[in-house]
Amino acid sequence: MTTDDLDAMIADAAGRLRRAGHVCCLTGAGISAESGVATFRGAGGLWEGRRVEDVATPGAFTRDPEDVWQFYLWRRRQLVDKKPNAGHDALAEIERVLADFTLITQNVDNLHRLAGSSNVIELHGNVWTDRCTACPRENRSNKAPNASSESILDQIPHCENCGEMMRPGVVWFGEMLPADALAAAQEVSARCDVMLVAGTSAVVQPAASLAYWAQASGAAIIEINPDATPLSPLVDIRLPLPAGQVLPQIAQALSG
């Protein structure tokens, strides 16, 4: 792709966003890759060293809650010094510029909120949340464990309401998504005129289906991903570059 081609596509994307009544953006792990956060699939991905069923399923937690907590505390340790990148910042800027913009993320890393996005639907929860296994209690926690602690058994949190064990506030494989988050995401996907899809392999359901849903409801789809996905052949504009490179250009074209 030449620079002129890219410039024309950015201008086309910005024009569509400017004319749209409502815009949504669906993000995945790729948007945080430039912050140094591992994606899930592919070389060096988060699941490469561990089997998903060993750490990210309800069965794994029933079998060995300490092991599952160890994994999620390790994830917190990895995330504690990570900062939003230019892609996150650009989405926060796009929210400020557009009248009606909703961000739907599959990410649990909190980086969109740290960048200043406020209208955010977290489909898969947030790794900085502890949720009670027995009652509705949820706690936000800013604490990452000490990297030198050998066992975290004593650190498994228990509910202040009912005393039962807390679990990580994320969605595991085989679990339903939070009903309110999914309903809100489906509503904005059906209502939007343009959907940006950035940094997701678009293979995990039901999140991936939101883009198809938006398209079936008449929205234009703009995909930002260096690699092709199952969605790629169907999109209106495909920007095959890192989100941290493309999104700031779109934000600038919108603001300018």
Task: State the residues that interact with ligand OAD by CB under 6 A.
Answer: 28-30, 33-34, 39-41, 45, 56, 106, 124, 171, 198-201, 204, 224-227, 229, 242-244
Query: To 10 degrees, what angle do helices 179-191 and 209-216 make?
Result: 30
Strands 194-198, 220-224: parallel, antiparallel or unpaired by DSSP?
A: parallel
Place of tokens 């993320």: 105
Evaluated on CA atoms 66, 71, 72, 78, the torsion sign reads positive
Catalytic residue among 22, 88, 112, 124: 124
Minimum CB separation of residue 242 from ligand OAD in Å reads: 3
Stretch (H or E) spanning 41? none
Minimum Å distance from CB 16 to ligand OAD? 19
Shortest distance, position 172 Cβ to ligand OAD, whole Å: 6
- Closer to ligand OAD by Cβ: residue 152 or 204: 204
Q: Which residue number has the CB closest to ligand OAD?
A: 30
Answer yes or no: are the C-beta atoms of 84 and 115 closer than 8 Å: yes
* Separation CA 179–CA 162 (nearest Å): 23
Say whether 71 sits in a helix, a strand or coil. helix
- Name which of 57 and 100 has its Cβ closer to ligand OAD: 57
**112 is a catalytic site residue:** no
CB-nearer residue toward ligand OAD: 51 or 158 = 51
Going by C-alpha positions, the residue among 109, 121, 110 that lies closest to residue 185 is: 121
3-state secondary structure of 245: helix
Phi-psi region of 57 (alpha: psi -120 to 50; beta: other; left: phi over 0): beta
CB of 86 to ligand OAD, least distance (A): 10
- 92 SS3 class: helix
**Distance in Å, CB of 66 to ligand OAD, minimum:** 20
Residues 6 or more apart in contact with residue 185 via CB below 8 angstroms:
104, 121, 123, 207, 210
Of 22 and 41, nearer to ligand OAD (C-beta) is 41
What count of other Cβ atoms lies within 10 Å of the Cβ of residue 48?
Answer: 11
Task: Output the smallest distance, CB 123 to ligand OAD, in A.
Answer: 8
Question: Nearer to ligand OAD by C-beta: 20 or 247?
Answer: 247
Closer residue to ligand OAD (CB): 132 or 247? 247
Amino acid symbol at 1 = M
What are the catalytic residues?
Answer: 124
